[in-house]
Amino acid sequence: MLESREPKLTHVFARRDRPRFETLSPVIGQLTARKEWIFFGALPKADRFLAIAWWVVLILRGVLPAAFAIAMGVLVAAVQRGGGLGNALTFVGVVFILLQVLAPIHQAISSNLGDRTAAWLYDRLTEACVGPPGMAHLEDPTLTSDLAVARDFDLGMTGPPLSISMDFIASGMVEMIGGAACAIVLAAYAWWAPIVLGGAWMATHWLLRESAIWFDRNTEEVRGAQRDADYAYRLAVDPQPSKELRLFGLVDWTIDRFVNRRTRLHALQYEA
């Protein structure tokens, strides 16, 4: 057989000589493809001002506990020196007031940002539904299940709506930033203290990693149960179909169907 004379394609750069952006691009691609990155990237698209305010208050709430510990140390040192206490007391008072005030402010910002983000997501869903010509795509059972799952950010069938979830997300991230800030403060006293603190903290996240995420949420069984439960609920509460149900005596059948699908959905969530 004749040997192939086609030229072999080789990379222009050797592995050690490749540009840094080329070697980092897979890592950056994996990072930007994560759902957390996509979610936080959607916040400024919904409302840039509220998103910036949410992040600023979030960082302040995370740093303030460590700042309060430092402020108390400054106050104790001032008392021991016997000098003026004005600056130390002012420092402690400002940090303490911010600790008390920022939490409810952040809760209000989270609620408003959640509502704005939900409205923005609804606009995206509406554009996706009315964009293709015709109505055939809306009758596709797969698309119907996708829409039922996608609307869960506002329906709250498997979790709280986004306006409430944002406060829970903020609380978890405040604790994370607070732990990092405290570890940095401890590093000034003993090099091993932040390692012990960070190791114990990350160990709890590693041990509980599977209990915090519902990995089987997008299975066909879960999506079908969620779609059927939402359909039965809308039959019972929307004015037009509910009148027909009462007229033909299908109230008990609809309620039993909703209870059955909803119970199955809770069972799937518990088993996961």
Question: What are 123-153's pLDDT values in tens digits?
Answer: 888 887 787 777 777 777 777 767 766 776 6
Token pair in block for residue 93: 């008072």
Give this prediction's pTM: 0.70
Token pair in block for residue 103: 């939490």
- For the chain (272 residues), the mean pLDDT of every run of 10, in chain order, is 41 43 62 79 91 95 93 89 85 93 94 91 82 74 70 68 87 88 86 85 73 61 75 78 79 82 76 62
The whole-number pLDDT of residue 156 equals 66
List, in sequence order, the alpha helices (H) in the chain: 20-32, 35-46, 48-81, 86-130, 141-150, 152-155, 162-187, 193-207, 220-237, 239-247, 251-271
Token pair in block for residue 241: 């179909």
Token pair in block for residue 269: 């969530």
Could you give the CA distance from residue 124 to residue 146 in angstroms, rounded to a whole number?
A: 14
The whole-number pLDDT of residue 216 equals 59
Could you give the CA distance from residue 91 to residue 94 in angstroms, rounded to a whole number?
A: 5
The whole-number pLDDT of residue 4 equals 43
The whole-number pLDDT of residue 2 equals 42
Question: What are 48-60's pLDDT values in tens digits?
Answer: 999 999 999 999 9
The whole-number pLDDT of residue 152 equals 67
